[in-house]
């Protein structure tokens, strides 16, 4: 496991990112529900990143990366645009971010990406390239396009500028609700939980950051063994309907940060059925549209593990990370 460069992602870098991007973005609201509070026996605060530009927290990291990297003279001179690979939300966010700066953008997406996310990327004028539905193909195609067309590659999570942008979620959340005891964060590649952990722990070292994963990811076991790749095999996508969190392994840069701040016992594993029921609950009772990756964090909140293992926590934050669900093809 690689060592963390403490200067690469810090409270100061995240605050710099917030200063850089905040006037482009919404300060997303925090919603509460007395019904939820009564179910879990705690005060719960939902950070509504489903209301953010492009429908997810990804706009934060994407915009910070674009503004940070393309303001560098060498990048502006040497690159004709930006390329990334994404299962949807990062691609949409980067497309929007590039559009705000009139920078050409290319997005590599797996062939099985939901139609609504493909259409969302197209809305912002990006060029789409399709790849096989596996992590290796995504990376290879994006890398080839970067070299052939002189495009700057912005990775969806394994990038400190992206992580710093995602960390601004915690800047706002702790301004809005300063006395949070814990925050539940859905995890895919790990950019969001890395940024949130670095900032939140710098403000309150005792705050718990809970990682929420789909079944099959085995993040807890990875943390126990301090290995992001337990078997040394090619990465795959998880068999989950929550396409926003289907990446099996955390990133090479994100995993050391997660290892530093997240205890293996603080990983919650949820099934697709649990995500679906939690997502439907938010639709019905809180009248909000969220996607399954956000429903994962809600499912963890409602879990027996939360009830039995953390009875003393009083104020729980839940990141509703996105709302980009295909309403013409709901996953239930």
What 3-state DSSP class applies to 31?
strand
Q: Which of 12, 89, 7, 3 is nearest to 292 (CA)?
A: 89
Whether residue 58 lies in the annotated active site: yes
CA 126 to chain centre: 21
Rounded-to-integer distance, Cα 124 and Cα 100, Å = 9
Whether residue 69 lies in the annotated active site: no
Strand 30-31, strand 43-48: pairing: antiparallel
Enter the tokens of residue 181: 């005891």
Rounded-to-integer distance, Cα 122 and Cα 243, Å = 19
Rounded-to-integer distance, Cα 278 and Cα 257, Å = 28
What 3-state DSSP class applies to 82?
strand
- Does residue 257 contact residue 296 with C-beta atoms inside 8 Å? no
Inter-CA distances, 68 with 18, 167, 191, 222, 287, Å: 12, 15, 17, 32, 36
Rounded-to-integer distance, Cα 234 and Cα 212, Å = 23
Inter-CA distances, 194 with 23, 50, 165, 237, 302, Å: 23, 19, 11, 20, 23
What 3-state DSSP class applies to 110?
strand
Rg over CA atoms, the chain: 18
Q: Which of 290, 245, 251 is nearest to 269 (CA)?
A: 245
**Selected catalytic residue, list 47, 58, 155, 246:** 58
Sign of CA dihedral 224, 8, 191, 82: negative
**Selected catalytic residue, list 56, 68, 86, 87:** 87
What residues are labeled active site? Answer: 58, 87
């Amino acid at each position: 496991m690689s060592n963390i460069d403490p200067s690469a992602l810090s409270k100061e870098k995240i605050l710099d990112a917030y200063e850089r991007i905040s006037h482009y973005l919404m300060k997303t609201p925090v919603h509460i529900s007395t019904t939820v509070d009564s179910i879990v026996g705690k005060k719960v605060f939902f950070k509504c990143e489903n209301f953010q530009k492009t429908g997810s927290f990804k706009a934060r990291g994407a915009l910070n990366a674009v503004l940070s990297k393309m303001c560098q003279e060498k990048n502006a001179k040497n690159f004709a645009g930006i390329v990334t690979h994404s299962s949807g939300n990062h691609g949409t966010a980067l497309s929007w971010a590039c559009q705000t700066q009139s920078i050409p953008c290319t997005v590599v997406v797996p062939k099985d990406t939901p139609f609504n996310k493909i259409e969302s990327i197209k809305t912002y004028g990006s060029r789409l390239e399709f790849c096989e539905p596996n992590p290796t193909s995504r990376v290879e195609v994006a890398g080839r396009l970067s070299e052939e067309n002189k495009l700057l590659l912005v990775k969806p999570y394994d990038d400190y500028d992206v992580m710093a942008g995602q960390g601004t979620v915690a800047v706002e959340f702790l301004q809005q609700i300063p006395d949070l005891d814990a925050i539940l964060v859905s995890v895919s590649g790990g950019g969001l939980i890395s940024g949130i952990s670095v900032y939140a722990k710098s403000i309150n070292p005792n705050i718990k950051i809970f990682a929420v994963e789909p079944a099959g990811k085995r993040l807890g076991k990875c943390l126990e063994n301090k290995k992001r790749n337990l078997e040394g095999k090619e990465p795959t996508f998880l068999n989950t309907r929550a396409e926003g969190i289907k990446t099996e392994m955390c990133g090479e840069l994100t995993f050391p940060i997660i290892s530093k701040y997240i205890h293996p016992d603080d990983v919650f594993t949820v099934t697709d059925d649990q995500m679906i029921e939690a997502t439907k609950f938010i639709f019905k009772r809180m009248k909000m549209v969220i996607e399954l990756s956000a429903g994962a964090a809600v499912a963890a909140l409602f879990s027996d593990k939360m009830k039995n293992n953390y009875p003393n926590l009083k104020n729980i934050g839940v990141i509703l990370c996105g709302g980009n669900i295909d309403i013409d093809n709901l996953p239930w």
